[in-house]
Amino acid sequence: MPILLILLTIAACLPTSRFARPDGFTRLDSAVATLVTMAIPVLLTALACRSVVRDLAVNPAARPRVARRYSWVRRRLPFVTLAAAILSVVGWGWSDTVAQTAAVRVGFSWRLAPFAELLMPLPYFVALLLNWVSHHAAEQALHRTSEAARQRPDHPEAAEFWTLAGYLSFQVRQLALSIGLPVGVCALNLTLSRFAPETMALPALQFAGLGIAVVAFVGFPRLVPGLLGLEPLPPGPAGDRLHATAARLRVRFTRILLWPTRGSMVNALVLGVVPQARYVIFTDRLLAALTPAELDAVLGHEAGHVKHGHLWLYLGFLVLSSAFLAAVGGAAEQTMKSWGYTLPGDADWAYGILPLAGMGVWLFVVFGWLSRACERQADVFGARAGSCDDPACVTHDDATVLVERGRGLCRTGATNMAAALDRVNDTAGHDRRGPRPSLRARAQAWLRAWQHGPMSHRIEFLLRLADDPALGDRSDRSAFRFKLGLTAALVLGIAGLSLVVDWHELVRGL
């Protein structure tokens, strides 16, 4: 969802995405139509959340059924909101209304005001904010009736739920983290290009912009602790063990941090390509849910991303993909011109939308494939993190000596990693599929987990790994060959296309 949201938000900001209003529509008509359209998903969300609150008030014992229904709604209604926003921009000419209204006079001409592009997707974000108000009531009701909250006073779910202001702040900060940097850079670039087009066209400045973007990517994790309200791990056995495991694995980072989510999220992640701005983050609910051995496995999974250079790989992939797709687009445009074909005058939007659509498909297919390969490598390293030097061991005890730097793999380490994923799946409340799920269920599972792969597939692989520890080395070699081949293909593709596409086109793509 974040990548889709980034692409659609950028698409709404582009000048080529300013669709004209329907015939006879004034700017007021466009604004009213947009308001009514965006009100529909807001109303649907409010009704669904009100139903959750009412049902739990009448019968708290129905919480499992109500929670499943709410989860279904929570996953699908955001796409209804997105569809309403797209209809407003494309059908009702909202972007055209903004372009004609938010203008400033420069010399003898009118230009779109600085950063006015951000008004194009504004109806979506206003609707999102109103939806969060409804979600707060529903999730507060689910929180109060949680079995864990009633039975374990020390559990994160037993903490007092967010106030409305705190909940909205929590959601806004996550949104800012996921889309703020790319959308902000896009708006800045469009504003500078509009008011200083000659300067922005200079190749030296474009290369400098690429350098600044890379530096921002490297340094951005420094802002994350303050942005998300992260805290140092509290002193205690869990924190001491995680730090000892990190030292044993020889993984360098700035700090291990706790993400207080009031028990609403079950997740762990690593951010930062350099040790001086690298953080390993655990949510409060994940720390409470997993056993010490499972926490070792999860930390090992995040360490695996660092050890295998996945964060640098993702950065390089995005840079090379941008250049490659720009070259493909330039070559396609030249081919069309050589054939004497040009787009109709009313289809200028295609020059902005089609490249973004191509990027979306490319990311879903190719980056999804790459990401799943990296996740498997990280799962293997998570198994190594809790392994001893006996591949056939049955269990570990306090006297077991675990391997250094993840240089080994045993049955117990693999089963601990599988157990960690299984417990995360249960704690997050994901539905368990039967032994033979339907084709539709399998397709939905892959769509939801396109970056990581379905949890059931990952667990099944780890159980095979427990029976055959040598599978870990074979899997690592296969992932390495795939990463090397993909990188080489992108480099060769760019080199080949550079023979027919001007290098300025490649720089603009970057």
The pLDDT score that the predictor gives to residue 227 is 84
Stronger pLDDT, 51 or 185, i.e. the higher one? 51
Residue 367 has what DSSP assignment? I
**What ranges in 232-367 are assigned the alpha helix state H?**
237-249, 284-289, 292-307, 310-338, 350-362
145 pLDDT more than 70: yes
The pLDDT score that the predictor gives to residue 349 is 56
355 pLDDT more than 80: no
Closest CA to 404 of 383, 388, 391: 388
Instruction: Answer whether residue 381 is part of any domain.
Output: no
Closest CA to 119 of 90, 92, 89, 91: 89
CA 481 to centroid of chain Cα atoms: 26
Residue 458 is which amino acid? R
**pLDDT range class, residue 465, cuts 50, 70, 90:** very high
478 pLDDT more than 70: yes
Q: Reduce the DSSP state of residue 398 to 3 states and report it.
A: coil
Among 21-35, 62-76, 143-157, where is mean pLDDT lowest? Answer: 143-157
Mean of the pLDDT values across residues 171-199? 81
Mean of the pLDDT values across residues 406-432? 83
455 pLDDT more than 60: yes
**pLDDT range class, residue 437, cuts 50, 70, 90:** low
Stronger pLDDT, 431 or 467, i.e. the higher one? 467
Stronger pLDDT, 507 or 28, i.e. the higher one? 28
Q: How many domains does the chain have?
A: 1
Closest CA to 14 of 463, 334, 356: 356
Instruction: Answer whether residue 94 is part of any domain.
Output: yes
pLDDT in tens, 303-327: 999 999 998 898 888 888 888 887 8
CA 493 to centroid of chain Cα atoms: 27
8 Å CB contact between 254 and 279: yes
Mean of the pLDDT values across residues 129-154? 79
pLDDT in tens, 24-62: 888 899 999 999 999 999 999 999 999 999 999 999 888
Mean of the pLDDT values across residues 57-79? 88
The pLDDT score that the predictor gives to residue 343 is 58
8 Å CB contact between 7 and 359: yes
The pLDDT score that the predictor gives to residue 138 is 92
Instruction: Answer whether residue 485 is part of any domain.
Output: no
152 pLDDT more than 80: no
Residue 505 is which amino acid? E
**pLDDT range class, residue 148, cuts 50, 70, 90:** low
The pLDDT score that the predictor gives to residue 431 is 52
CA 372 to centroid of chain Cα atoms: 14
- Percentage of the chain with pLDDT > 90? 26
| Triad 220, 221, 226: Cα angle to 5° | 100
Instruction: Answer whether residue 347 is part of any domain.
Output: no
Question: pTM (2 decimals)?
Answer: 0.84
The pLDDT score that the predictor gives to residue 217 is 76
Tokens read off for 16 = 């080529």
Count of all residues that appear for the chain in the document: 510
Mean of the pLDDT values across residues 489-502? 82
**pLDDT range class, residue 162, cuts 50, 70, 90:** confident
149 pLDDT more than 60: no
Mean of the pLDDT values across residues 465-491? 92
Among 129-138, 260-269, 497-506, where is mean pLDDT lowest? Answer: 497-506
The pLDDT score that the predictor gives to residue 310 is 92
480 pLDDT more than 60: yes
Mean of the pLDDT values across residues 336-354? 62
What are the percentages of helix, strand and coil residues in the chain, rounded to 5? 70, 5, 25
216 φψ region: left (φ > 0), alpha (ψ -120 to 50), beta (else): alpha
The pLDDT score that the predictor gives to residue 47 is 95
8 Å CB contact between 216 and 208: no
Mean of the pLDDT values across residues 340-356? 61
Instruction: Answer whether residue 148 is part of any domain.
Output: yes
The pLDDT score that the predictor gives to residue 373 is 92
Instruction: Answer whether residue 469 is part of any domain.
Output: no
DSSP string, 395-461: ---TTPPPPSTT----HHHHHHHHHHHHHHHHHTTPPPP-SS--HHHHHHHHHHTTTT--HHHHHHH
The pLDDT score that the predictor gives to residue 186 is 80
Give the β-pairing of 255-259 and 279-283: parallel
Instruction: Answer whether residue 402 is part of any domain.
Output: no
The pLDDT score that the predictor gives to residue 334 is 74
Half-sphere exposure of 394 (CA within 13 A, CB side): 0
Stronger pLDDT, 4 or 53, i.e. the higher one? 53
Q: Which range of residues forms the domain containing residue 184? A: 2-201
Stronger pLDDT, 344 or 83, i.e. the higher one? 83
Among 179-193, 236-250, 327-341, 435-449, where is mean pLDDT lowest? Answer: 435-449
pLDDT in tens, 396-408: 887 888 888 888 8
Average pLDDT, the chain: 83
Tokens read off for 242 = 């995680």
- Percentage of the chain with pLDDT > 70? 87
DSSP string, 184-252: HHHHHHHHHHHH-HHHHT-HHHHHHHHHHHHHHHHHGGGGHHHHHT-EEPPSSHHHHHHHHHHHHHT--
Instruction: Answer whether residue 310 is part of any domain.
Output: no
**pLDDT range class, residue 357, cuts 50, 70, 90:** confident
pLDDT in tens, 257-302: 999 888 778 889 998 888 888 999 999 888 888 889 999 999 999 9
**pLDDT range class, residue 419, cuts 50, 70, 90:** very high
